[in-house]
Amino acid sequence: MRFSVRELVYIAIFGAIWGALEITVGSYLHVIFPPLADTFLVGLIMASIGVVVALIGRLFVPKTGSVLMIGIVAAILKMISIGGVKLGPLVAILAESLLMELGLLTARRPRRRSFVFAGALAITWNFFHKFIMMWLLFGKGIYEVYVGMIRQGASLLRIDVSYAVVIIVVLLFLRIGAGGLAGWVAWDLGRVVRDRVAR
């Protein structure tokens, strides 16, 4: 897929916005949230923001691959930020942008339902991210990560750890719901922004 110079500029702009938000807002959230909430809330918030920005970018560049390229720009900016290279956020940004691309393939043209699905699919990665990264980086087993997630989820939801299945289902569906909502917001907000720019 070829992009015009104008489309490449839009890709760079939205990628820069996503990357800048990761560097600034993401760092700030890590400071204000306690470690226990940090694991769940910060990742969820930043993933939702990324979905909104990237999908709005898709409305400006309605071509397959544009969201992935926006994600690549954001990942590069995150990589060269003051905090240095952190593999986890880079993988998350690229995985989310790729999943959004896959979700958008369900419709030939941008549609609200495809945006909602793309957002939900992208933020679902946030659930599996820790399992994969802890295994790749530290060699921790899935069961060990699962137990940690259950304990953190029980604390956040304020229920007993014996409700492990409930905790896992709730944590997963919270992410799916947040992703779908982010896609919905991106569709409405993006069209408003696009129309104003067009004027």
pLDDT at position 160 is: 85
User: How does pLDDT run across 55-66, given as a tens digit for each residue?
Assistant: 999 999 999 999
User: How does pLDDT run across 139-165, given as a tens digit for each residue?
Assistant: 566 677 677 778 877 877 788 888 888
In 3D space, the residue among 131, 130, 124, 115 whose CA is nearest the CA of residue 171 turns out to be 124
pLDDT at position 90 is: 85
pLDDT at position 65 is: 93
Instruction: Specify the residue for token string 């918030």.
Output: 45
Contact call for residues 52 and 123 (beta carbons, < 8 A):
no
Torsional class of 34: left (φ above 0), alpha (ψ -120 to 50), beta (otherwise): beta
**Predicted model pTM:** 0.87
Contact call for residues 11 and 57 (beta carbons, < 8 A):
yes
pLDDT at position 68 is: 96
pLDDT at position 30 is: 72
pLDDT at position 153 is: 77
The parts of the chain modelled with pLDDT lower than 50 are: none
